């Protein structure tokens, strides 16, 4: 990118997104599992209801995002806490449409797919890059988190719609997103665009994590392991905490340089 087309204040902060390592994908899947199981626990088991649960987690997300935006660099605990909360809120957005408003899952899937395309279109028109290696301005960070939110909602709707169409149980349901993610990895290895492959994998890890959560939490009569939503949430939150603690100390997922590429 030459200086004539480079956005102003491009180097205002260090890159606010971690390096894409195996740790990134592990925590992302853990977060999506928590998004499914913890939302179900608070909504159904504790009896908060969809509306109150959505308001509570949305308020917490806003607070954490304010801290994230004010930071001038990537801070693992803040970043991943935002991902955990946004996974819950994204799940609840689809649940509110499906369970609260009776909107068919195929309509929710189409709506969120169109919304994602619109966000990407505006992001590209304004910034000329969709790369997560250049999240160095407030504008790009805003587009990034909005995209993440829509991908969680889309992944929830598309994943649930697929389960409705196939009638698969929790265990078998894990296999489809795994197969699709493997196909995306293969496409990337054979030269497909890394930005496109990243976002496809990001969307697909949502139904993967949700299906893992359903498999662990569902009773044996439904084909699951019967751990329940509370135990599943606690185990995965502990795993997230341990991994984030390691990343905070080791700094292995910190990006280097000013990340001015426009991939």
- With left for phi above 0 and alpha for psi between -120 and 50, is residue 168 left, alpha or beta? beta
| Residue 23 pLDDT class (50, 70, 90 cuts) | very high
Residue 150 Cα to chain centre, angstroms: 9
137 contacts 12 by C-beta, under 8 angstroms? yes
Cα gap 98→88, rounded to integer Å: 15
Model pLDDT for residues 28-71, shown as the tens digit of each residue: 999 888 887 888 888 888 888 888 999 999 999 999 999 999 99
- Say how far apart CA 213 and CA 231 lie, in whole Å: 10
pLDDT at 10: 45
pLDDT in tens, 212-251: 888 888 887 777 888 888 898 899 999 999 999 999 999 9
**CA gap 170, 51 in Å, rounded:** 26
Q: Tell me, what's the pLDDT at 5?
A: 42
Question: Domain ranges in the chain?
Answer: 22-250
Is the pLDDT at 100 greater than 90? The verdict is no
Q: What is the C-alpha to C-alpha distance for residues 21 and 23, in angstroms, rounded to an integer? A: 5
Q: How confident is the model at residue 84 (pLDDT cuts 50, 70, 90)?
A: very high
pLDDT at 15: 84
Task: Tell me the residue length of the chain.
Answer: 263
pLDDT band at 256 (very low <50, low <70, confident <90, very high): low
């Amino acid at each position: 990118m030459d200086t004539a087309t480079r956005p102003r204040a491009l180097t205002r902060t260090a890159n606010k997104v971690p390096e894409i390592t195996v740790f990134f994908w592990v925590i992302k899947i853990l977060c999506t599992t928590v998004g499914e199981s913890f939302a179900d626990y608070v909504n159904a088991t504790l009896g908060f209801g969809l509306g109150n649960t959505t308001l509570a987690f949305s308020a917490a997300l806003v607070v954490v995002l304010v801290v994230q935006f004010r930071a001038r660099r990537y801070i693992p605990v803040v970043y991943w806490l935002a991902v955990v909360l946004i996974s819950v809120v994204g799940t609840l957005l689809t649940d509110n449409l499906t369970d609260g408003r009776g909107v068919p899952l195929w309509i929710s899937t189409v709506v969120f797919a169109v919304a994602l395309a619109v966000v990407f279109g505006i992001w590209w028109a304004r910034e000329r890059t969709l790369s997560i290696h250049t999240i160095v301005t407030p504008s790009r960070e805003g587009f990034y988190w909005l995209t993440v939110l829509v991908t969680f909602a889309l992944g929830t709707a598309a994943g649930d719609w697929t389960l409705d169409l196939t009638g698969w149980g929790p265990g078998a349901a894990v296999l489809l997103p795994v197969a699709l993610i493997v196909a995306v990895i293969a496409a990337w290895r054979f030269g497909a665009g890394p930005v496109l492959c990243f976002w496809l994998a990001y969307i697909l890890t949502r139904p993967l994590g949700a299906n893992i959560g359903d498999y662990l939490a569902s009773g044996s009569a439904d084909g699951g392991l019967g751990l329940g939503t509370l135990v599943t949430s606690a185990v995965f939150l502990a795993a997230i905490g341990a991994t984030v603690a390691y990343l905070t100390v080791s700094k292995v997922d910190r990006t280097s340089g000013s990340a001015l590429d426009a991939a």
